[in-house]
Amino acid sequence: MSQKPDLAALFGASDASTFLGLDACDDLTAIDASSAFIGAPCATPYGSVGAYAQNGPASLRRAIAALTANIDRHNFDLGGPTFPEGVKRAVDCGDLPWSDSDFAANRATIRDAIATIAGRGTVPILIGGDDSVPIPMIEAMGETGKSYTILQIDAHIDWRDSHMGERFGLSSTMRRASEMAHIDRILQVGARGIGSGHSSDFEDALAWGARFFTGPDVHRDGIAPVLDAIEPGAEVILCIDIDAMDPSIAPNTIGRAPGGLSYYQVLDLIQGAAARGRIAAMDFVEIMPEADIDEIGGLTVSRLVAAAMGVIARQAV
C-alpha cells in the first residue's frame, strides 16, 4: 500500500476549518465559552530567524481534524467526553492578524484580544507562534485586577534581559513577566541541557523568587513537588513551550533537547494546576510544523490542547 489510509474518513470526520470542529467565534466581545483557541502566529521575532513558528496554529487544526466527528466520544485522558453534559464547550477564535515589521502592533493585538476574552470570563488558550507570544498575554491578565502564579513548562528559563537588542523576544518571557505587578509567583518546570541563558540569568531568577523544577528533578521526583508549590486557590497562568517535552513525542519545534517531559507528565501538570487552583489563561508556543516528523508532534500537542480544554471546562462547573 503506497498511501496512508484516510483515518478521518474512517472516523467519520467532516471538513472543518476550526480546531476539533468547534464553533467559530469571530466576535470576541460576545464570546460565551469555557475556553477559546486563538492563534498568534507572531509577536516579537528576532531578526536572525523571523517568524519561524507562524504556521503553528494552523498545524494543530490540521493535526486533530480527523477527530471532528469524535468530540462527544469518551476521552480516556479525562475520564469522559471532552465536554461532558452541563459544561460550556470551547470555541475557536481564529488567528490574530500580524505584521512582520511592526512588533509593537503585534503585541498590542495579542494583549487586546486576551484582555477581551478574559474579561468575558472565558479562559484564553493562546497558540503560537514563538515564545515571545506569551508576554502580551501575561500583561493582558493584569487588567482583571487579580494576582497570578505562572506555571511555565519549558526546556529554557527565558530570563535574558535582552537578546540581539530586543527586550520582548522569546528569551525574555519570564524576565518581562517578573516585572509585572500582578505576577506574584513563578514556577518553572522542565529546564534541561544547555540553554540560551547565562548563569547570571538563573541567579537573577532565583533572587526574584522563581522556583525551578528541572527536567531531571521531574524524572526523579515526579510532579508532586511542583503542584505542592502552587498555593491552594491560586489563579494560574500556564505557559507551555512544547520543547519542554521530549523530542521523541514533540519534534515539531526548533529547540529540541533529549530528556524532556512525557505527554502524561505535562497533562498531569495541567490537571493538577486546575485541581490545586484555577487555570486562568494558557499558551502553547514554539510549534514549528516544518520540523515535525510524520506529524507526531502535531498529534501530541493537539491532543494536549484538546485535553486542556476539557480540564478547563470542568473547572468552571
Q: Could you give the percent of the chain with pLDDT greater than 90?
A: 91
Residue ranges in 7-144 assigned as alpha helix (H): 7-11, 56-63, 103-119, 134-140
Query: What is the per-residue pLDDT for 1?
Result: 47
Query: What is the per-residue pLDDT for 95?
Result: 98
Spatial strand order of the sheet with 123-128 comes to 91-95, 35-40, 123-128, 278-285, 235-241, 148-153, 183-189, 211-213
Residue 237 predicted with pLDDT over 90: yes
> 117-158 pLDDT, tens per residue?
999 999 999 999 999 999 999 999 999 999 999 999 999 999
In a domain, 1, yes or no: no
Residue 308 predicted with pLDDT over 60: yes
Instruction: Report the distance separating Cα 65 and Cα 8, nearest Å.
Output: 7
Number of domains, the chain = 1
Handedness of CA 27, 28, 29, 35 (dihedral sign): positive
In a domain, 187, yes or no: yes
Which residues, listed in sequence order, are joined to residue 126 by a DSSP beta bridge? 38, 283
In this prediction, residues 190-198 reach a mean pLDDT of 92
> 242-260 pLDDT, tens per residue?
999 999 999 999 999 999 9
In this prediction, residues 99-121 reach a mean pLDDT of 98
Residue 258: closest CA among 266, 249, 246, 250: 246
> 36-68 pLDDT, tens per residue?
999 999 999 999 999 999 999 999 999 999 999
Instruction: Report the distance separating Cα 294 and Cα 280, nearest Å.
Output: 33
In a domain, 56, yes or no: yes
> 4-28 pLDDT, tens per residue?
666 565 566 666 789 999 999 999 9
Query: What is the per-residue pLDDT for 195?
Result: 85
Higher pLDDT, residue 309 or 197: 309
Instruction: Report the distance separating Cα 39 and Cα 110, nearest Å.
Output: 9
In this prediction, residues 198-218 reach a mean pLDDT of 98
Averaged pLDDT score across all residues of the chain: 95
Residue 216 predicted with pLDDT over 60: yes
Cell of 226: 511542583
Give the CATH number for residue 35. Answer: 3.40.800.10
Give me Rg for the CA atoms of the chain: 18
Residue 91 predicted with pLDDT over 50: yes
Instruction: Report the distance separating Cα 114 and Cα 130, nearest Å.
Output: 17
In a domain, 287, yes or no: yes
In a domain, 2, yes or no: no
Query: What is the per-residue pLDDT for 33?
Result: 98
Query: What is the per-residue pLDDT for 7?
Result: 59
In a domain, 107, yes or no: yes
Instruction: Report the distance separating Cα 113 and Cα 90, nearest Å.
Output: 16
In a domain, 185, yes or no: yes
Map residue 201 onto helix, strand or coil: helix
Place of cell 507551555: 240
Which residues, listed in sequence order, are joined to residue 214 by a DSSP beta bridge? none
In a domain, 161, yes or no: yes
The band of 196, judged by pLDDT with boundaries at 50, 70 and 90, is confident
Domain that includes residue 295, residue range: 7-315
Q: Could you give the percent of the chain with pLDDT greater than 70?
A: 95
277 within 8 A of 231, measured Cβ to Cβ: yes
> 265-295 pLDDT, tens per residue?
999 999 999 999 999 999 999 999 999 999 9
Return the DSSP state at 283: E
C-alpha distances out from residue 28 to 56, 94, 121, 271, Å: 21, 11, 11, 26
